[in-house]
Amino acid sequence: MTRMFDALAERSGPQRVAIAILLSVAGLFLLGLAAGVVAAMITKGHLPSRGWVVALPVVAAPLGALSLWTSWRLAAPPNSASGYEKRYWRMWMLVTALGIPVGAALAFSTRSDDLASLNPFGTEPIAAPIAILLAVLVTGFFSVAVALYHRTIDDHEERAYLWGSQLAYYFLVLALPAWWLLERGGIVGPVTTTAAFVAILISFLVQAIVWAWLKFR
Amino acid sequence: MRNKLRVLRAERSWSQADLGAQLDVSRQAVNAIETGKYDPSLPLAFKIARLFELPIEEIFHDSNV
C-alpha cells in the first residue's frame, strides 16, 4: 500500500492533483453508497436477503475513507513547498472543511423524505427558523471564505480574481437587461428566481474561466 | 514594462519556485512577471529590488523609452 502511494506521490504536480480529485470523488461516492445502503436497511428494519448487499457498506465505507485520505495526502504540498504554497493549501483545505457542513445543511434543508430528491437549490418552502439559520450559515461561510482567500493570495492572483469578477459582473449587467427586454417582446420566458440564480451561477463560471486564464496562461 | 528578472534569477541558478518562495508569491506570479504578462505592484517590485540588491530601474525598464 505504501509503495502504491509513493508511486502516486512521485508523479508531477498537475497529475497528482488530478488523481487526488478523482480519488476524492470516488471516496465521496463510496461513502454515499455505504450511507445509502445503511439508511435503506434502517428504514426497512431488516437485513436484505442477498449477502452481497449486506457486505457492500462494510467494503465501501473503508474503501471510501481510504480514497479520501489518499487524496488528502496527494493534494498536500510536499515538505519542500514554500511558505506561500503551504499557506495557500491550508486556506483551501479550511474553506473546503467549512463548506462541506454548509453544503450538507443546504442539501438536507428540503422537507422531502426521498434521499434521491435532495437538492440544495430547491425552491420548496422551508420553516422560517431553518431559513434564517441557513441564510446566516451561507452568508457567514462566504464572508469567512472570501476574507481568508484575500488574506492569503498574492498580487498576481488578486489581479486575476478582480478581472474575473469584473467580467462576471459585466456578463450579468448585459445578460439580465437583455433577457428582460426579450421577455417583454415575448421571445423568451419571464426572469424567474431560479433563472436569475442560474444566470448568477453562469457568471461564477465566467469568473472562474477568466481567473484561471490570467493565473495559469 | 520589460524586466531582467529571468537573467538575474538564472545568474543565481534559482528556479521560478525558488524565487517565488523568497518573494513569498506563487511560481505562476514569477513566470507572469518574467514573460511580461503581469507588472508587479510597487511593494512587490521593491521586494524584488531588495532581494537582488539593485535599484528598481535596473531591473524594470519602461518599454516606451
Q: Which amino acid is at B53?
A: E
A156/B20 touch (CB, cutoff 8 Å), yes or no: no
ipTM above 0.85, yes or no: yes
Q: Return the residue of B nearest to A152 by Cα.
A: B25
Q: Return the residue of A nearest to B30 by Cα.
A: A156
Give dist(CA A5, CA A74) in Å, integer. Answer: 8
Q: How many Cα atoms are found within 13 Å in the side-chain-facing hemisphere of A51?
A: 0
Q: Quick check: A123 and A193 in contact, CB under 8 A?
A: yes
**Secondary structure letter of residue A117 according to DSSP:** G
Residue A54: the pLDDT is 80
Q: What is the pLDDT along chain B (65 residues), one digit of tens a residue?
A: 889 999 999 999 999 999 999 999 999 999 999 999 999 999 999 999 999 999 999 999 987 76
Measure A214 CA to nearest chain B CA, in Å.
Answer: 9
- Give helix A51-75 / helix A2-9 axis angle, nearest 10°: 40
Question: pTM of the prediction?
Answer: 0.72
Q: What percent of chain A has pLDDT over 90?
A: 29
**pLDDT tens string A69-90:** 888 888 777 777 888 989 998 8
Q: Return the residue of B nearest to A215 by Cα.
A: B28
Give dist(CA B8, CA A59) in Å, integer. Answer: 56
Tell me which residue in A156, A159, A217 faces B26 most closely, judged by beta carbons.
Answer: A156
Q: What percent of chain B has pLDDT over 70?
A: 98
Contacts 24+ apart (CB under 8 A), A124-127: none
**What grid cell was written down for A159?**
489581479
Residue A18: the pLDDT is 80
- Give helix A83-107 / helix A128-152 axis angle, nearest 10°: 170
pLDDT along chain A (217 residues), means of 10: 68 74 86 82 76 83 88 78 89 87 74 54 74 89 94 95 96 89 90 83 94 91
**pLDDT tens string A32-53:** 888 888 877 777 777 777 778 7
**What grid cell was written down for A197?**
440564480
Helix (H, G, I), strand (E, B) or coil at B3: strand
Give dist(CA A67, CA A47) in Å, integer. Answer: 27
